[in-house]
Amino acid sequence: MTAAQYRVFPLLSCFVQGCLDSGRDIAEGGALYNFLQPEAVGIPNVVDGLRAVETLVEEKQRFSLDDFRQALRDNFVNHDELQRAILRECPKHGNDEPGTNALFFEVADRWCDYIEEKRNYLGGPVLPGFLGWTMWFHFGKKTPATPDGRKAGTPLANSMGPCTGTIPKGAPAVILSASKLDQRRGLGGTTFNLRFNSNLLASSNGIEAFRGFVEASFELGTYMLQIDLASSELLRRAQQAP
């Protein structure tokens, strides 16, 4: 069974090069270029989880792997000490810490290696990506507890940024952490969703600082930035009066 047997895109196919000429839907291979883009959602969770095990089991020897296993089975209920140690004492992705940066590169690089060697059902390439879309939230609902201290049902990390709830050492540290991976390998898409104070652009100094940050990010090889300057208060008002 192929995708075309249960999911077709007739309207979208009208605007994709090759489909009208071939008379076939994009799901049937009608496009001139047939590629798929699987997205790795939750890689920062993997990185932070591995760093937690490395720090607390191997280096400090305060907990065992069995402690981690049982805590995950119990969703960290009655394992407050372990969860607190994970969240407060272990290095986190997004803080430009050398060991964590190296691990992020290794995990993300292996994902790209595995995906790049595949061909899709239409014979075209498979392009690895790191876009979270809204899946970081929806997948989190279905994912059990993870070794990074995250409880079952809570959101995964948003794209290539820090794990949800992590307080990074600033936006530059976030960019520096993920720039260790050559983002040209993420042809399926990479992005950073960054939120800044709503008064950032209120002065000329703020504007110049923001401009410098964006330019430096792209010089480091960042593929895409998605910036949000809306305050929580503004978003809540929008919910009440859309």
- pLDDT by residue for the chain (242 residues), tens digit each? 555 566 899 999 999 999 999 999 999 999 999 998 999 999 999 999 999 999 999 999 999 999 999 999 999 999 999 999 999 999 999 999 999 999 999 999 999 999 998 999 888 999 999 988 888 999 999 999 999 999 999 999 988 999 988 888 989 999 999 888 998 899 898 888 888 888 888 888 999 999 999 999 999 999 889 998 888 888 899 999 98
**pLDDT number for residue 40:** 94
Q: Which of 144, 151, 179 is nearest to 165 (CA)?
A: 151
CA–CA separation, 36 and 54 (whole Å): 35
Q: What is the token pair recorded at 109?
A: 């690089």
One-letter amino acid identity for 146?
Answer: T
**pLDDT number for residue 202:** 85
Q: Which of 171, 169, 166, 184 is nearest to 227 (CA)?
A: 171
CA–CA separation, 104 and 130 (whole Å): 12
Report phi then psi at 89, rounded to 5. Answer: -110, -10
**pLDDT number for residue 191:** 84
**pLDDT number for residue 3:** 55
CA–CA separation, 89 and 53 (whole Å): 12
**pLDDT number for residue 2:** 55
Instruction: Output the pTM of the full model.
Output: 0.89
- Residue linked to tokens 């979208």: 12
CB 154: neighbour CB atoms within 10 A? 14
For residue 226, list its beta bridge partners: 193
Q: What is the token pair recorded at 91?
A: 């290095």
**pLDDT number for residue 6:** 66
DSSP letters for the chain: --GGGT---HHHHTTSTTHHHHT--GGGT-SSS--B--B---HHHHHHHHHHHIIIIIIS--S-HHHHHHHHHTTTTT-HHHHHHHHHHS--TTS--HHHHHHHHHHHHHHHHHHHT-B-TTS-BB--B---TTHHHHHHHH----TTSPPTTS----TTSPPTT---S-HHHHHHHHTTS-GGG-TT---EEEE--TTGGGSHHHHHHHHHHHHHHHHTT---EEEE---HHHHHHHHH--
**pLDDT number for residue 70:** 98
